[in-house]
Amino acid sequence: MSLTDALLLDPQKLDIWIALRTDGAKGSGTESDPYDGSTRATPIISVSNISGSSMTATATASNHGFKNGDRVLIAGATDGDSRYYNGTFSISNVAANTFQYTMRGTP
């Protein structure tokens, strides 16, 4: 059997591994390095301002301690567009006092 045949005949690996990790690593999803499926309790951080541009929200929170890729729960926005701002989001563009997330719609 040729190498091309062998590559085309072998099925694609579709296994994804998730475990409760205590080492703080996010993992790669393999059996030897599973994704982190554990929850992490964090203190409540007060957000002083959230502004939106298209579907990107920028939140201002002093010394929040987050890093890119962290997931945050935003709750408490009360204006007419609160359904876009509130929810659980993965954050990006993290700075010392701000972070951004993509909303599920345009307010």
DSSP letters for the chain: --HHHHHHHSPPP----EE--SS-----SSSSS-EE------------EEEEETTEEEEE-TT----TT-EEEE----STTHHHHSEEEEEES--SSEEEEE-SS--
Question: What are the pLDDT digits (tens) for 29-50?
Answer: 888 999 988 876 777 888 888 9
The domain ranges of the chain are 1-39, 49-102
pTM here? 0.63
Q: What CA–CA distances, in Å, run from 15 to 6, 9, 10, 25, 31? A: 20, 18, 14, 19, 8
Backbone angles phi, psi at 100, to 5 degrees: -125, 155
Per-residue pLDDT of the chain (107 residues; tens, 9 = 90+): 677 777 777 666 678 899 988 887 888 888 899 998 887 677 788 888 898 889 999 999 998 889 998 888 898 888 888 889 999 899 999 999 999 999 988 88
